[in-house]
Structure 1
Amino acid sequence: MSADVVVVGAGPAGSAAAYHMAVAGLDVIVLERGELGRDKVCGDGLTPSAVTELALMGVDTTGWRRNKGLRVIGGGHLLHIPWPEQASLPSYGLARRRTELDRDLAERTVAAGARLLTGVTATAPLTSPSGRVIGVEVRPTPRAARPGVTAPAEITAPLVVDAGGVSARLATAVGRAKDVRRPLGVAVRAYFRSPRADDAWMESRLELWDGPAGKSELLPGYGWMWSVGDGLVNVGLGSVSSRAATTRIDYRAVFNRWMERAPASWGFTPDNRVGRLGSAALPMAFNRKPHYADGLMLLGDAGGMVSPFNGEGIAQALMSGRLAARAAACAAARSTAAGREKALGQYPAAMAERLGGYYTLGRVFVSLIEHPEVMRICTRYGLGRRRLMRLVSKLLSDGWERRGGDGIDHFIQLLTRMVPAA
């Protein structure tokens, strides 16, 4: 079996890449080891940046849960920050459970002409004698209901895309190890039935405490709660370390204590919880590179593209797929191997231009909020300053204009140009 491109992983990154590549006329095979609609630990929140990427894919979001901004609570303050109407970003966000989002995106990809094989596990990259990745070895996923292959096989392609998530198995197999000097986050999430499931705001609580009352330590991170539709609320917490080091914090215990102290109006009782309490690692700030070399591209979590500012990964995954497709389409039009490599090199350059300086600032941000006293001062004295919070909200949500915009946008543009790219 062969194609122009093999994409491993049908999450947001892989589906976005396959969609844009198929629209550009490339023959694309997408491999997904599970079945569509597999549950994944995620906040399910889609910022205006993610909404824009969905619009570029032509995804029909009718009926999806909309939100109009952030409700931020901390340091004795409560602040509502609406999503601003901007030239490149809409004035609303969305929420969609990953079981539904991933299915929607994969189906959109198939409609564009990509070939989707579910129940297929990519076990290893195929490489040429020179070390170039030229395809993948695959096998049926154990216990898959309808695997896309019936026996171990090889799929060849001049371009292979690892969009397989945090494990990044293909990247790891060719020696692209994660950079332990980059931030690593941890997220814990559960769903609850809630009487406030119609709330139109995404609520963020900036004070996470580890330990019993009176002996608690403030953690670097935040808690969230927002509606995802169907009477459900996604509730979770995210914490971050400036280096990919192990931690002794029991995040599930922190979550359970947080639920015990949550406002009763939300109804976060054990009887109202739906499904499991899940946890996941969040690879941040380009912690695995290069994003392209020797026939292999890294997208989304496989390339460590989660934002160190807020733990968001869906918008970045969708964008990485779009930029990867642009480079792949340009490469397919070249007549020489050297020309194709130059075209494919546009992808890591575009990611660095879009997020490099921004993620460098994010690493500084993480190193600061790791200190409880800094976090305490920021929440107590910063939240009451509305203009400062407009800056912070744009910075933390990646909701700033790259060109033009207002004075705050210009200030962030200046900051990102002053620092080296991540």
Structure 2
Amino acid sequence: MTGSGTERADVVVVGAGPGGSATAAYLAGHGLDVVLLEKARFPRDKICGDGLTPRAVKELLHLGVDTTGWARNRGLHIQGGGHDLTLDWPSTDAFPDYGLVRRRSELDETLARYAAACGARLLEGMNVQAPLRDDRTGRIAGVQVKVMGPDGRATGERRSVLAPVVVAADGVSSRLATALGRPKREDRPMGVAVRAYWDSPRTRDDYISSWLELWVPEDPAADPNDPATKKILMPGYAWLFPTGDGGVNVGLGMLDTSPSFGTVDYKDVLRRWIATTPAEWTLTPQTMTAPIRGAALPMCFNREPLYADGLLLVGDAGGMVNPFNGEGIDYALQAGRVAAECIAAAKTLDPVGRERALQRYQSAMKDSLGGYYTLGRHFAGLIGHPQIMRYAVKYGLPRTALMRLLLKVMANLGEPSGGRLDDRVIAALTRVTPAA
């Protein structure tokens, strides 16, 4: 930004994560003048499992992103209740039959640079402080920005970016949404995840892995490989995602429907569980390449409305994480695509038509995901109880056909219309379930 310190655009997108960058790329493709603001400077990290299910892969391909060379996987390996099960991703017409893993430090920069290549004006080191509002209408009119230097410190310079439409893709805390009176909904589930990176020979596994039970030594100082060591079952689940570059992303997640939520040191649980893993995985302090870090996972549209007064919420800002599996990237990409379509349609209309077009963003997202998220909300309430989860793992995991159906449900990979019997059952359930 130059000159007076005020920039104008058709749309301002705040946050260059997957949702924000996708929104900006699509908007630029529609011919709109869009400014994409990112608080940090690339490359920068985000707390994530780094896994991209076939649903996310589909969105990336639709966006036009080249995923050549990214770590590819065939499905999911599940362990729990003394059982092991390996499942391929479903083969459907609607989605690819493979998933990907890409470190967020690489994924986010790739998508942000792609948005810039599409014509968006990407501005890094722009820490958005507050919305600007039109005193006459109360609508958002832009954002106030604090400029950050290459060292991550504020330079003392402040600027304004003006636009009639603003997209908040600024994460779970969403400063913009909060400032405009859109607090989090307490009746929606919330998750927490912690993860770290290790060098490991499992870096090129054909399957991502998930553990549905976390058995750890009761005494952190005890030898986890000693049969006499007493182990206790901790709440949550763990994952190992091979990054294909010599490393693995290993972490754990927990839902706030668990009675233990908020009372457990999740980083400590991960350390204690890691100590129980086989030696050949080489998950040791010496091979650890990044510290354990954590983040919240906002689910089921936990902040609404998704559109009002010129501000659209995309991704974590609108609570779009899947309560079944903790994935949010695919829904952020989808939201960016839908938001851009609505904004582009609104651009050429009169004020009344423009507002109707923008309002369609919320209805489109609710129509697509509302019933599914409600199902997920009930699911989250059930598995938060340890005895239910143990029963489900013990008796469900050995039944391969049932687990194939659950994988399709949990990753939201059912055919939207037609398909097999299980696809039709999934579609019917989401249609009759009240929208979240």
TM-score normalised according to structure 1 size = 0.96
Distance 1:28 1:243, change over 3 A: farther
**Match in the other structure for 2:274:** 259
Matched, 1:374 2:381: no
**Match in the other structure for 1:216:** 232
- 1:76 deviates by 1.3
Among candidates 369, 375, 378, match of residue 361 of structure 1: 375
User: Pairwise mapping of residues 165-176 of structure 1 onto structure 2 (< 5 A)?
Assistant: 165-176=171-182
**Match in the other structure for 1:194:** 200
**Match in the other structure for 2:224:** none
Matched, 1:286 2:301: yes
- 1:206 deviates by 0.6
- 1:369 deviates by 0.5
In 2, the alpha carbon distance for the partners of 1:211 and 1:305 equals: 35
In 2, the alpha carbon distance for the partners of 1:243 and 1:232 equals: 31
Query: What RMSD over aligned residues (CA atoms) do the two structures have, in Å?
Result: 1.8
Among candidates 25, 31, 37, match of residue 31 of structure 2: 25
2:243 partner SS: strand
Show structure 1 runs of 4+ deviating over 6 A. 243-246
Point out where structure 2 has 5 or more consecutive residues left out of the alignment.
Answer: 1-6, 219-228
Deviations 1:109-149 (A, max 9, x none): 011100000001110000112321110011202555799x9
User: Pairwise mapping of residues 177-326 of structure 1 onto structure 2 (< 5 A)?
Assistant: 177-209=183-215, 212=218, 214=230, 216-219=232-235, 221-242=236-257, 247-326=262-341
In 2, the alpha carbon distance for the partners of 1:150 and 1:120 equals: 12
2:204 partner SS: coil
Deviates more, 1:209-218 or 1:340-349: 209-218
Q: Is the 8 A contact 2:39 2:127 kept in 1?
A: yes
Sequence identity, in percent? Answer: 52
Distance 1:227 1:243, change over 3 A: closer
- 1:211 deviates by 6.5
**Match in the other structure for 1:64:** 70
In 1, the alpha carbon distance for the partners of 2:233 and 2:197 equals: 26
**Match in the other structure for 1:14:** 20
Deviates more, 1:404-413 or 1:208-217: 208-217
1:387 partner SS: helix
**Match in the other structure for 1:417:** 431
Distance 1:243 1:223, change over 3 A: closer
One-letter code aligned to 2:420: D
Among candidates 120, 131, 140, match of residue 125 of structure 1: 131
- 1:265 deviates by 2.3
Q: Is the 8 A contact 2:216 2:276 kept in 1?
A: no
Q: Is the 8 A contact 2:32 2:344 kept in 1?
A: yes
- 1:387 deviates by 1.3
- 1:222 deviates by 1.5
**Match in the other structure for 1:387:** 401
- 1:153 deviates by 1.5
Distance 1:305 1:50, change over 3 A: same
One-letter code aligned to 1:349: S
Among candidates 305, 319, 332, match of residue 347 of structure 2: 332
Matched, 1:116 2:131: no
How many residue pairs match? The answer is 419
**Match in the other structure for 1:351:** 365
In 2, the alpha carbon distance for the partners of 1:206 and 1:69 equals: 16
In 2, the alpha carbon distance for the partners of 1:310 and 1:261 equals: 23
In 2, the alpha carbon distance for the partners of 1:344 and 1:355 equals: 18
One-letter code aligned to 1:5: V
One-letter code aligned to 1:328: I
- 1:209 deviates by 4.2
In 2, the alpha carbon distance for the partners of 1:210 and 1:360 equals: 33
Distance 1:326 1:367, change over 3 A: same
Q: Is the 8 A contact 1:182 1:242 kept in 2?
A: no
Q: Is the 8 A contact 1:182 1:243 kept in 2?
A: no
- 1:192 deviates by 0.5
**Match in the other structure for 2:94:** 88
In 2, the alpha carbon distance for the partners of 1:279 and 1:94 equals: 22
1:271 partner SS: coil
One-letter code aligned to 2:399: R
Matched, 1:396 2:410: yes
In 2, the alpha carbon distance for the partners of 1:22 and 1:183 equals: 34
**Match in the other structure for 1:408:** 422
1:345 partner SS: helix
Q: Is the 8 A contact 1:28 1:114 kept in 2?
A: yes
In 2, the alpha carbon distance for the partners of 1:150 and 1:26 equals: 31
**Match in the other structure for 2:221:** none
- 1:84 deviates by 2.1
- 1:158 deviates by 0.8
In 2, the alpha carbon distance for the partners of 1:405 and 1:156 equals: 47
One-letter code aligned to 1:410: R
**Match in the other structure for 2:112:** 106
One-letter code aligned to 2:232: S
- 1:405 deviates by 1.6
